[in-house]
Structures are given as structure tokens and as C-alpha cells.
Structure 1
Amino acid sequence: MNHRRALTTAAAPAAAAAACHILPAATWLPGVRATLFPSLDGRGSPDHVALTFDDGPDARSTPYFLRELDRLDARATFFVQGAAVRRHPALVRAMAAEGHELAVHCWEHRPPWLPRPVADRADLSRAVRVVRETSGTAPRWYRPPYGVLTATRWLAARRLGLRPVLWTAWGRDWRAGADAASVLVHLRERLAGGATVLLHDSDRNSAPGSWRVTLSALPVLVSWCREAGWRVGPLSEHGVAGLVPAARRLGAGDAVRDRMRDLMDP
């Protein structure tokens, strides 16, 4: 019996550490973000829609998006993978020269579930450095792979001066079987003034060829926004408010509030 109690006691700290690590991942749920952390949900100025893309740069697909955005006279925020930036520096410089904003997605697209405090910070630091050195601008925003913010990722972003932002509306454009119509249907579910839209300019982590679906939906999306009177542009023009006041609307003494406030406070 004592042996069993000792094992239980020894396991308790590990279980607590795992719980703290995964707790912020609850922000993946749209209802949690929208209610408690509207800026993490990408809520900005009501007359603006932030257009964002994940997973590039990709020499096979990103140039098509740059060409289409130029035709539409629209600019966007690209959440890039550091390893891909290193492989395609000329493309990244072209993105910056054309007025698009470079933000950090990851170094490489890794699953989020195991705590990796040292590795997460090292990978994110490498990504920040290569974006800054290649584009000539310091990235401001961070969106983690799969949209899952763990404690180690959140703390790494905070220590590197990055602001996490997920999304308000997404097109689920990475899925096999998606087409332009389905992407637009999913976007419409939460598209509104002040929304941040998530799409992908690469199929590196998506169904093969899915970027073509996204590209075909893009002009319709931009047209919808402009017809509604919403400007379309990058996060830098979106007017995202601070995170902490929304977090503090939770009930006093709430352990979830206290832990997430600790992670988010500057």
C-alpha cells in the first residue's frame, strides 16, 4: 500500500506539469477565444479584415498568391516556417518588398503535445532570426502549428517579444476534398468586420494541391469584404487590442484565469 502511495505521490508533479503545459491549448476552441481572449481570436477594427496565410513560403505556390494579391491590390500577413524561409530567401524578400507582413509560424511543423521548453524556444528563436535577417523587418506576430498554444510555446513567444494570434474565420482549405465553394462556406460562418481570416499559401502540411483551391476562393473573399465595406489588409493594420483585459473578465480566484494571466502578462 505504501509503495502504491509513493508511486501516486511521485506521479502527481508530472501530471500537474502536463496539465499546465496543455491548459492554454483550450484557446483552440473558438468559443473560448471569442469570449475570453478576443484579440487571440483575431478581433480587430470593425471596418477591417485581416488576411493571413500559413505554412509558406513555398516556391511552387506562394508566387501565385503574390500575383493574385497584387491584382486585387491587397496585402496580407504571412505566417512563415523558418526552415522554408532559409530555403527561399529571395521569395521572402519579394514578399516584404511587395508590402506584405512576415510573421512567425514555426521553424518546422511539429506536433505540440510533448513539453519542449528548451527546444520550443530555440526553434522559435531561430525562426525569428531568419525572418528578421531575410526580410529586414522584425516579426511581431506568432501563430503556432495546428493553432495549438501550449504553455511552452506561449512562454517562448512572450520571451521573444511575439504576440500570439490565432484566427476568427478559417476556410478549412487544407483538407482533402475541399473546393472553393466549401472554403467560402466555412469562412462565412464567422466572417465579420474585425475578423482575422486563416488560409494557406502552401500544401506543405495540407492535402496535395489544396493551395489551388485557396487561390481560387481568394478573389471572392476579398470581393465579399469590400462589398460589406471592410478594408482588407495585414494584421499590422488590424488594430488588435491587448490580451490581458479580456482574460481578467474571468471570475476572481479562478485557477484557469490565474495561470493564463501569468502566461500572457508582459
Structure 2
Amino acid sequence: MAVSAGPAGARRAAAVLTPLAAVAAAHIAPAATWLPVVRRRLPRLAGVGHPGHVALTFDDGPDPESTPRFLDALEALGVRATFFVLGDGVVRHPSVARAAVLRGHELAVHGWSHDRPWLPAPADDARAVLRAAGAVRELTGRRPLWYRPPYGILTSGRWAAARAAGLRPVLWTAWGRDWTAGATPASVQAAVAAGLRGGGTVLLHDTDRMSAPGCWRATLGALPAVVEGCRAAGLSVGPLAEHGLPPAGPAGRRASRR
């Protein structure tokens, strides 16, 4: 649409852009939920669960190169975790995702692909989340319970999409900052320890799909220290299913029994 120059044109342009800006603001406003101050006000969204338990979660997989190494490491540590998987990865690498389930881990939904949600697209959000949830259900035979949006950006469209799919959004309370090229096992462990408390949810990554090449090795190297640090503090470590969080609403509870 063309808008003429001059004061009148500027006013008409403002009249057009103001509603668009309001729509965009309403869409992206819930993204602030990742901020620490908001997490304190929304503990369930942040993943605060049983005070004697820590939920261990991994994002962005499955990855045929790196995920099996995490499965081996977790087995050696006697720990199960929740893997927030991407639907397109599940379809491309079903054997890797299936191996995680067979070894006692929980699959949750991270979306279909790791896209950025800057523009409102509620129909696309709904399709992507439902498609990813369907891929997980087809692989596992059970409906997933949890949803974590890519980048932790929970827009209004993604929130609605999760509710439509019967998923509870869960972010995190501590992370390893393990996606950068400079990450080391020591830096990952220190970052987790700095934010970790009983009842917390830890965010790590079992792949470098959306991160610096090879950075998953730092996470893998930090894993024993992360787990042992929790145990030394008297905290058990496990998946979100054991964390004391309720599933999403009546639909989610019915789905979890199927």
C-alpha cells in the first residue's frame, strides 16, 4: 500500500502502523516469561517442582552423532532425563529418538523446527506444535506432556498452540550456556551451579544443531559434575515426569493416561 509524503501521509502511515504494532506487541509480550523476575512470579512455567528434585532437560535433538553419547553418559550416571525434541529431527532420526525412550528417557515437544517467532503466525504455530506432538506420539505410543518453545520465546500464538495440543509449557531455572564456541565443561558446570536450586529445571543441549559446531562436547564433559553436584546437595535428578509438575489442564491429564 502506497502512502503519500508530507504530514497527512505521515498521519495515515501512523494510523496503519499503530494497529500492526499493537498486534505485534501482543504477540511477542509473553516472550518476557524467560526473564528471571517473571520466572519468580510464574514458578510452574519456569519448571519449579519438588524441592528435593532437579529436572534434567536437553533441547534441539535428536542428533545421530551426539545424542547417543548423552544416552550412554546418562546410563553410566544412572540418570533419566527429558529430551525436548524437534519434530523434523524425530522424523529424520527415529532410531535415535526411539533409543532415548527405550533407555527410559522422556520425550517432550520443542516444536517442529527451530524457527524464530518475531511475526504473529498463530495458525502456523498451531500446525507446527500439533505436528511435532503427533510425531512424538507416533514414535512413543503416548502423548507428550511438555512443551518448550525454541529460544524460550513463548509468544501468545505458541502458548495457544501448546494448550490446543494438551501440552504444558515449561522453561527452565538454570542453564549451562553451552551453545557457544567458547563453552567448556568447567564453564557449563559453573553456569548450571550458579542458577541451580532444589526444585529447579536445568536446560542443556545434546546437539549443536542450533549452536556452535561441536559445543555439545562441553556439555557432555560437564554432565558428570552437574549430576554429582546435585547429588552432593541431597537432590535427586530425573525427568520432568518425576518433578511434581501437573500436566496441562483436564485435556493434558486425560492424554497422559492414554
Task: Give the aligned partner of residue 227 of structure 1.
Answer: 232
Task: Give the aligned partner of residue 202 of structure 2.
Answer: 197
Structure 1 stretch 118-127 or stretch 72-81: which is displaced more? Answer: 118-127
**Mapping of 1:117-156 within 5 angstroms?**
117-156=122-161
| Separation in 1, partners of 2:248, 2:114 | 25
**Mapping of 1:70-85 within 5 angstroms?**
70-85=75-90
Task: Give the aligned partner of residue 17 of structure 1.
Answer: 23
| Separation in 1, partners of 2:14, 2:68 | 55
Task: Give the aligned partner of residue 244 of structure 2.
Answer: 239
Q: Deviations over 1:13-62 (max 9, x none)?
A: 2111111001101112122212x111111111100000000010000010
| Separation in 1, partners of 2:164, 2:246 | 19
| Separation in 2, partners of 1:229, 1:4 | 63
Q: Give 1:100 shift.
A: 0.5
**Mapping of 1:1-266 within 5 angstroms?**
3-34=9-40, 36-240=41-245
| Compared CA separation, residues 83 and 218, structure 1 to 2 (3 A) | same
Q: Deviations over 1:224-246 (max 9, x none)?
A: 111111110000110126899xx
Q: Secondary structure at the residue paired with 1:139? A: coil
**Mind listing any 5+ residue stretches in structure 1 that lack a counterpart?**
245-266
| Separation in 1, partners of 2:122, 2:137 | 22
Seq. identity, % = 59
RMSD, aligned α-carbons: 1.6
The letter for the 2-side match of 1:60 is: E
Q: Deviations over 1:93-140 (max 9, x none)?
A: 121111101000011111121111111111111101011001222111
Q: TM-score, normalized by length of structure 1?
A: 0.88
| Separation in 2, partners of 1:203, 1:91 | 15
Q: TM-score, normalized by length of structure 2?
A: 0.90
Quick check: 2:168–2:247 contact (8 Å CA) kept in 1?
no
Q: Give 1:11 shift.
A: 2.5
| Compared CA separation, residues 39 and 243, structure 1 to 2 (3 A) | farther
Q: Secondary structure at the residue paired with 1:175? A: coil
| Separation in 1, partners of 2:75, 2:248 | 32
